[in-house]
Amino acid sequence: MDGFTFSVPIRVRFADTDAQGIAHNSAFLVWFEVARVEYLREFAGGYQALRDHGVEAIVLESFCRYRLPVRFDDELVVHTRCDGLRGARFRYEYAIVRGDETVADGRTEHACVDAVTLRPTRVPGWLADAIREAESA
């Protein structure tokens, strides 16, 4: 999808739905996270590589726009890209599509933190390099 560097398929689980018969608004944040985890696996050795360096990436902000209802068993694709790297911070943007419809889009803001103190720490050089390389490809 134009403007995105990576994508991951998601099948809507029955547990994701609510009594309105559609996927619950909180499920989309979990799908965003799945896309981030797979992105890091693809381009940067996986999220565990970060943790192995004593670093965690926390979520500072989440935003999601729900454009169309999503239902049980729908096959979705979560497109994502990472940008806005600066100091401890970075951002992911997302578009979730079903066939040729965009059902949701959004973004999450993140900071790297020390795994023990949870205080902000600069994005490790190897990770910043891996993200820049992925995004400029």
Residues lying near a second copy in the complex (CB under 8 A) are found at 13-15, 17-22, 24-27, 29-30, 33-34, 37, 46-48, 56, 58-66, 69, 71-73, 108, 118
Contacts of 108 (CB under 8 A, 6+ apart): 29, 32, 36, 59, 60, 61, 62, 63, 91, 92, 94
Active site residue 18: yes
Q: How far is the CB of 136 from a second copy (least distance, A)?
A: 27
Q: Can you tell me which residue has the tokens 């390389």? A: 133
Alpha-carbon Rg for the chain in angstroms: 15
Max CA separation in the chain (angstroms): 46
Closest approach of Cβ 111 to a second copy, in Å? 10
In whole angstroms, the minimum distance from the beta carbon of 16 to a second copy comes to 8
Q: Which of 16, 18, 74, 83 is catalytic?
A: 18
